[in-house]
Chain A
Amino acid sequence: MSYHEATYDEPSIFTFRSGTTYKVPGSVTDSDIDLPQELIRKHLDLPEVSEYDVVRHYTRLSQMNYSVDLGIYPLGSCTMKFNPKYADKIAGMEQFYDVHPLQLASTVQGQLRIMYELQEFLKELSDMDAVTLQPLAGAQGEYTGMLIVRKYFEVKGELNSRTEVIVPDSAHGTNPASAAMAGFNVVEIPSAEDGTVDLEALKAAISEHTAAFMITNPNTLGIFEDHIGEIARLVHEAGALLYYDGANFNGILGITSPGLMGFDIVHFNLHKTFATPHGSGGPGAGPVGVKANLAEFLPVPIIGKDGDKYFLDYSPKHTVGKVSSYMGSFMVLLRAWAYIRFHGSDGLRRNTINAVMNTNYLKKKLENKFKIPYKSLKKHELVLSTENTGKKALDIAKYLIDNGVHAPTIYFPLIVHEAMMIEPTETVSRMDLDRFAEIFLESADVPEEELKKHPVNLPIGRPDDVKAARDLKVRWFPEK
């Protein structure tokens, strides 16, 4: 298969001059505006563009963009699975999107029912006891979790001494960032030889100052932390809380759960595990689940049910307050609800099994040429190192994208040199896995100076990142 991405030398929207064609109803004039002149805007330098030009411009731009609907998108840690079209259709129902957040509960029983059912689904899948849907992304879920940790120790009168949050060195950057934003000192511990948490390092780090330990399981190497029971015991014996980063839930969903493993707080990435589209960067949704003893700390409102009526529940006694403007990213929640309803208990579990199968299939193919460190059995993703081939992960990534497949996540986790983190997900055929593996293996044999020339089949060659950071041109200006 030969591949070329559409290429347009597309000018900035700010250079278009075709004249606005959009009709805004009404017949106001400047003289209707009886405000002091100093309040009035004198000029607004936006372009006057016809609607047809705006649509053509952004349609052309869209064609210079790889997406899940074009093929495999195996970004590790991102769970780029197929986004089902029935969910688009449901999110396109006016009765759902044409609803104002300040409406009375009695007029939005449909919204509340969706949210209530989603809370119940997430509780069941994670074996947690209460869920808030308010956080707007995974990182905000983490932050919400850290606020809950703070409040928990504040109520216990221990906040002054519980100042530390421990994270493994394989953790995603948002984990330490969220903990620090909530005012904790971050303590990083090294991983053991096999890539899992080093129990000795954990024991050494844990103390009466520990507020929480944040981990994900399977971890960012795609391997299951089989000492999780011991980890939970150590954390709880120290009086601290165990936090689950749910970004990797797709590797275990339906097989085990954070609740069964002893976690106290968990966030879900609905835009990963539950197939809501990632929108070129967002929006996502990051609901948080907690065990019963932490339910009184959840942000408000959560969605309650009384008989057959749904209501906004403000009862959590020690609520952390609010973490976002309204009730959460409803349209994203709605899509996740649809995904869970469609797949059901049988399908969700099947998806996990298939995702893990695909990962191990790729692993077995790729290990012929690449070093795949740590434990051999993988879950949702695998991390290989390109070091043994003498090639840079970056160069191999560019070779892949030049062949019409998206590259894996590169240089993460930080503990693997020249890391490439590959997450195929369940929604990719063996045919596509084979093609991906073939290009990947081929790249190992391409001479380095050849590799450096890629990409050539895309609208641009390799960009100058240093220049971007030095010039800091972050908006369009007219040519002088």
Chain B
Amino acid sequence: MQSNLEKQEIAKFLNISDEMALFSDIPAQYRKKEIRIQEGVSEYEVLEQARRIASLNSSAGMVNFLGNGIYKRIVPASVDSIIGRSEFLTAYTPYQAEMSQGVLQSLFEYQTFMSELTGMDASNSSMYDGFTTLGEAVRMAHRINERRDILIPENMFDDKLKVINSYLSGLSVRLLTYRVDQVTGFIDLNDIQSKVSKDTSAIVVEMPNSYGIIDENVLKVSQIKGDALLIAYVDPVSLGMLLPPGDYGADIVAAEGQQLGIHMNYGGPGLGILTFRKDYIRKSPGRIIGETVDNKGKKAYVMTLQTREQHIRREKATSNICTNQALMAIASAVYLGVVGPTGLKKIAQTTYVNSRKLKNKLSSLKAAGVPQLTGKPFSDVLIKFRTDVSQLQEFLAEKGINGGVPLQKLAAAPILIRNSAFFTATETTQENETDQLVSIMEVFR
């Protein structure tokens, strides 16, 4: 029995002398005999243990050239400050709108930010992460037109493809791949055209594509897609300078939003961004915040269109998603508020220029085979080498650099670019870091 006085009073009120009487409905054979976990420790001790374990990571002090979906970008101090506020951090989903206007308005603003950024009509209030959002986007397209085929680029990363496949299980949908040119790195429009039919539900394009390239051909897909839907998977920071998918005919846009004010977090939590044309809003998954008025005519925000969601529609819901990534959505709204449109443009342009410099320096290495892909990278730079690169990441890590992920590790690597590896630049990439990388790479054979 416990020493806590309040609990003793409660036990007395409940008329129990043994607190285990509260578990008398659990048959004896199911009682847990022991818990083989250490006894509790003090706050001081748990912090010490965490520090010790953190120090097993050797990343502190390593130079980062990793990217391909998660990026080391500047996170303004204001973002951490706002999402660290316990009013946002420790609240639940805003089920009681009247006492949760703060998060509701913040998420409404998030939806506005994302609609503007992607050039689309509407956004939901967040999904789990980039890949699952793309999976949901494909399901949504199939729900809209009930057609069979989804066209995807052949260079899509394996892990992304695996997540899409998970999200398609149980649907009678077929994934067809279309070609990507091995000289430019652009998607092959003729090949797409030859595969589009009356059975095509959607065409998935990536911008920049999985080779990291700003793909001019993506702009032309809407001209050849017939009445199939166009799903664009985009880099949200690139939209600071690149044409938004709404302007090249996208119907649904999916993205990983980690870059918008969220730390790398070893890949999670991130942020799934999903925007779409307004016509499709009732077919969309996830929570949506709407503006309305209260009983006195004052502006108010609520969760709306809940009749699409699992708690009401159950097995007929547009998705099973319940808990989402609201806090990360707030982070991205604060981020975009702080950096503003000129800041985002500058971040995108700096990224572009830094990746160009990185590409120029690396492609003049002896070990780099010529010619490189002619398409221009945004952030992820794919470099072709003359030699096997399967151990390149290990080689660099020993010298204090994270980077050089072989293409083969991420996706099918066609013959022309088999020995290729990725190096990523962002606005945080320093000239001396690039030089350090290049000088280490001089001895890579």
Contact = CB atoms under 8 A, between A and B. Distances in A.
A21 B53 CA distance: 38
Given A33-B241, A86-B46, A224-B25, A97 B264 contact: yes
A277 interface: yes
B324 A137 contact: yes
Contacts of A62: 82, 85, 87-88, 102
Interface stretch (A198-206, A253-261, A382-390, A438-446): A253-261
Contact of B96 (A121, A176, A397): A397
B76 interface: yes
Interface stretch (B174-182, B195-203, B287-295): B287-295
Nearest to B114: A475
Given A65-B91, A475-B123, A55 B327 contact: no
B40 to A, nearest CB: 3
Contacts of A181: 139, 167, 170, 319-320
A405 B321 CA distance: 27
A26 B350 contact: yes
B27 A229 contact: yes
Contacts of A350: 2
Interface in B194-236: 214, 216, 219
A469 B312 CA distance: 15
Interface stretch (B59-67, B411-419, B433-441): B59-67
Contacts of A455: 98-99
Contact of A409 (B7, B95, B327, B350): B95
Contacts of B51: 93
B340 A353 contact: no
Contact of B92 (A73, A93, A99, A320): A73
A67 B193 CA distance: 53
B22 A406 contact: no
B59 A98 contact: yes
A178 B323 CA distance: 13
A33 B334 contact: no
A177 interface: yes
A183 B142 CA distance: 14
In this complex, the interface size class of chain A, counting residues with CB under 8 Å from chain B, is 35 or more
Contacts of A107: 57-59, 62, 397, 402
Interface in A347-371: 347-350, 353-354, 356-358, 360-361, 364
Contact of B310 (A88, A173, A346): A173
Interface string B307-346: 1011111111101111111111010011011111111111
Interface stretch (A235-243, A290-298, A457-465): A457-465
B405 A102 contact: yes
Contact of B101 (A35, A38, A345, A460): A460
Interface stretch (B146-154, B298-306, B363-371): B298-306
A395 to B, nearest CB: 13
Given A100-B402, A325-B130, A111 B57 contact: yes
B314 A177 contact: yes
B221 to A, nearest CB: 14
Interface string A23-49: 011101110111110111100111111
Contacts of A63: 87, 102
Contacts of B106: 58, 61, 280
Nearest to A410: B95
Given A181-B319, A463-B97, A65 B35 contact: no
A166 B34 CA distance: 32
A451 interface: no
Interface in A367-419: 375, 377, 397-398, 401, 406-407, 409, 412
A473 B35 contact: no
Contacts of B60: 94-95, 98
A47 B293 CA distance: 24
Contact of A41 (B243, B281, B307, B393): B243
Lowest 8 CB-CB distances: which A-B pairs, in order? Answer: A183-B170, A326-B267, A279-B327, A281-B326, A101-B267, A344-B40, A65-B102, A20-B340
Given A183-B170, A282-B328, A460-B97, 11 more contacts: A100-B267, A107-B59, A180-B315, A252-B26, A278-B92, A279-B88, A331-B269, A353-B20, A409-B95, A430-B7, A476-B112
21 contacts: A13-B337, A41-B242, A66-B87, A98-B72, A100-B64, A103-B402, A110-B56, A139-B310, A174-B322, A182-B169, A252-B26, A260-B32, A281-B93, A281-B125, A282-B326, A283-B268, A283-B323, A326-B159, A343-B40, A358-B10, A475-B108
